[in-house]
């Protein structure tokens, strides 16, 4: 494994780690199960996305880059807004729980959109594609798993503001994606 691949994997996992923090903040019970599910969802999505990018890059190199940042922004902003709204609700009206099912799938896809574009560049790192996606998936799993635990510990200190902060983090990540892709010029 090259240093470049390791650093790429950490960079791609950063968004998943931040979202995992918010999932840990929302978890009230069964933290180990939540950490495993979130870690697997994000790890698998981050492993599949560069493979898709690598495959599509051969045929459609410029197409993905033209809109991936907007997809990621809309998905992250929508879920972030929902978390903020839920964080402002009286505690007995909204059950506080981490994302599951479709919502978790949307989060996993949203945080892995950049990995599709990164997949186009994987051949330049010199590592075989299967090793590359395994490293990216495993590092994302590990950081997301840890993020759930760290998010839970932090939510105890933040109290009811944890979801609001988690929602704001998702929106900021979405905005960062737009800025990184020079979406405004």
- Tokens standing for residue 53: 């990018």
Phi, psi of 58 (to 5 degrees): -65, -40
Query: What is the overall mean pLDDT for the chain?
Result: 77
Residue 55, pLDDT above cutoff 80: yes
How much is the average pLDDT of 12-34?
83
pTM of the entire predicted model: 0.68
Instruction: Give the separation between CA 43 and CA 29, rounded to whole angstroms.
Output: 22
Phi/psi zone of residue 72: left (φ > 0), alpha (ψ -120 to 50 degrees), beta?
alpha
C-alpha 2/C-alpha 83 separation (Å) is 38
Is residue 161 over pLDDT 60?
yes
């Amino acid at each position: 494994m090259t240093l470049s691949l390791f650093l790429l994997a950490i960079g791609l996992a950063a968004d998943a780690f931040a979202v995992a923090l918010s999932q840990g903040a929302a978890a009230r019970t069964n933290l180990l199960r939540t950490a495993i599910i979130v870690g697997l969802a994000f790890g698998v999505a981050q492993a599949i996305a560069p493979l898709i990018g690598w495959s599509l890059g051969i045929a459609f190199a410029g197409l993905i880059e033209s809109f991936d940042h907007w997809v990621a922004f809309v998905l992250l902003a929508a879920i972030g807004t929902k978390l903020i709204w839920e964080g402002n609700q009286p505690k007995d009206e909204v059950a506080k729980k981490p994302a599951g099912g479709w919502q978790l799938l949307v989060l996993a896809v949203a945080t892995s959109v950049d990995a599709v574009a990164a997949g186009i560049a994987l051949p330049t790192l010199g590592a075989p594609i299967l090793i590359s996606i395994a490293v990216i998936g495993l590092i994302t799993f590990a950081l997301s798993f840890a993020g759930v635990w760290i998010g839970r510990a932090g939510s105890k200190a933040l109290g009811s503001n944890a979801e609001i902060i988690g929602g704001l983090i998702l929106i900021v990540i979405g905005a960062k994606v737009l800025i990184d892709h020079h979406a405004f010029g």
